[in-house]
Chains A and B, each alone.
Chain A
Amino acid sequence: MVLTRRLIACFDVRDGRLTKARQFQDNVDVGDPVEFAARLYEDGIDEIVFYDITASSERREIDLVTVERVAEVVFVPFTVGGGIRSVEDMRAVLKAGAEKVSIDSMAVRDPSLITAGARAFGSQCIVVSMQVRAVPARAEVPSGYEIAIDGARVMTGMDAVVWAERAAGLGAGELVVNSVDQDGTHAGYDLEITRRVAQAVNVPVVASGGAGTVAHVAAAYLEADAQAAIVSSMLYSPRLAEHYSVRELKEELMAIAGVEMRPPGS
């Protein structure tokens, strides 16, 4: 009897619509995010994450209306990321119905935001999402994984493992390791960096970017020791001909890979 591994659905939401990107580009429209969130909740998803949830791509205001609409139909944890620049932004998102906030580029620019958020709302509320890219190892990036920001367009010269340790030390309650290289490729998570981060910190670690098969998700848990795995394409990407239901995914993970999960329908 142990804490089960979590399956998290991730939505890119722009201008109130669910979209799907590949390596942070070429977003295509998928549908109404509230409808999808409700369907996945009914289907047994363990958590839902909305990223880049902006009401206007120019003004970059957080789309609190969509956050509220999701919170009215989803009774599992709900995380919102993108567009959060301050403790006040966090408060607004939490009031609108999110349980956790995810910060990414802003945490790199101003790491004190992690601590300020943790003081105001508790560490469990503050998720630091890391965009990592494999690079040749060098003195400042000894792990061979570098942190990228601003939609993964800007490299920071920061080592991913060093940043993970620092973010956890500053008060992050959870770390998402998103591989920019694997994102949207359906070729599998980057298990190497996920495992190294999981070994380096004592907070939960979430694998993200690249899941295309049940075996990929199982490997994130069993080989990289991620406590949770983010899936999106497998559930709804228009670039994949066949999709999984949450129930199918969980049943296969439990039966074939032996992963301990909250059973569907419970």
Chain B
Amino acid sequence: MGQDVGVIDYAAGNSPSVLRALQHLSIPARPVSRPEEIAGCSHVILPGVGAAGATMASLTESGLTAALTDAVLGGLPYVGICIGLQVLFDQSEEDDAKCLGWLPGTVRRLPAGVRVPQIGWNLVRSTAVHGADVGTPIDGYFYFVNSYVVHPSDSAVVVAEADYGCPFPAAVRSGSIFATQFHLEKSGPAGLALLRAVLTDGVRREGAWC
């Protein structure tokens, strides 16, 4: 088992920001841009700031889609940030993109009546039933930048939510998968603390959570 956190590095991602945050936390990490680089990683983080379609195209072109699917469905802990949350599901309205499909559900545009993109700090609350399972509470203000939100078929994967026009999932967890709609790497001390927690005790390498 390796010690490094692998940060997926692709054309439209913001892997440098995540690597800087991990460096600040003194967590060993390295960029991963080819399938063979996944070996030896303790976790993989898929960050993202771009569009779902472009992200999927980039991952597939570099062979990472298949390699990540094998590794994560085989138990390698996965942390998704923003687009890294959205691509977990079957399909996104953005670019009508087919996504990873590791979790059943879709990704849809924010409802009418709010400014899009959502840009800023929103109050996140752990959902009552599942909040305790995360290993660390997810309550507080975190930084969001998104035009789309996830609609999981199984609401049990939602561990935290926030409101923007309507309630939406702010964080999901299923097995060794943990992902947030907000930017852990840009949410100040609260984001860094949560990032550290999910990489140390919050995401287990194998087995189910409940």
Residue numbers of A with Cβ under 8 A of B are: 1-6, 41, 44, 46, 71-72, 75-77, 94-97, 99, 120-125, 173-174, 202-204, 227-228, 261-263, 266
- The smallest C-beta distance from B189 to any residue of chain A, in angstroms, reads 8
Interface bin, chain B: 35 or more
Task: Out of A96, A227, A263, name the residue touching B115 (CB < 8 Å).
Answer: A227
Which residues from A are CB-within-8-Å of B144? 3
Q: A173-B117, A204-B120 are in contact. Are A75 and B186 (CB under 8 A)?
A: yes
Residue pair A75, B191 in contact (C-beta under 8 Å): yes
Cross-interface CB contact of B185 among A75, A94, A124, A227, cutoff 8 Å: A75
Against A, the Cβ 8 Å flags (1 = close, 0 = not) of B98-129 are 00000000000000000111111111010000
In whole Å, how far is A123's beta carbon from the nearest beta carbon of chain B?
Answer: 6
Query: Which one of B17, B51, B121 contacts A4 once the chains associate, using CB atoms below 8 Å?
Result: B121
**How many pairs of A and B residues are in contact by the CB < 8 Å rule?**
105
Q: Which 9 A-B pairs have the closest CB atoms?
A: A262-B121, A262-B141, A124-B145, A122-B50, A124-B117, A4-B121, A3-B120, A204-B119, A1-B163
Least CB separation from B141: chain A residue? A262
A46-B120 contact in complex given A77-B186, A266-B141, C-beta closer than 8 Å: yes
Most buried by B among A71, A75, A122, A263: A75
Q: Which residue of A lies closest to B144 (CB)?
A: A3
Q: Whole-angstrom distance between the alpha carbons of A94 and B47 in the complex?
A: 14
Name the residue on A nearest B122 (C-beta). A3
Given contacts A72-B24, A76-B188, A99-B186, whether A3 and B14 have CB atoms under 8 Å apart is no
0/1 string, B131-160, CB within 8 A of A gives 1: 000000000110111110000000000000
Interface flags, B148-178, vs A, CB<8A=1, else 0: 0000000000000011100000000000000
For residue B49, CB closer than 8 A to chain A, the reply is: yes
- Residue pair B116, A6 in contact (C-beta under 8 Å): no
Least CB distance from A102 to B in Å reads: 13
Chain A residues with Cβ below 8 Å from B190 are 266
Please give me the residue from chain A that is nearest to B113 by CB atom: A202
Take A121-B50, A122-B49, A202-B115 as given contacts and tell me if A263 and B123 are in contact as well, using a CB distance cutoff of 8 Å.
Answer: no
B103, chain A: closest CB distance, angstroms = 23
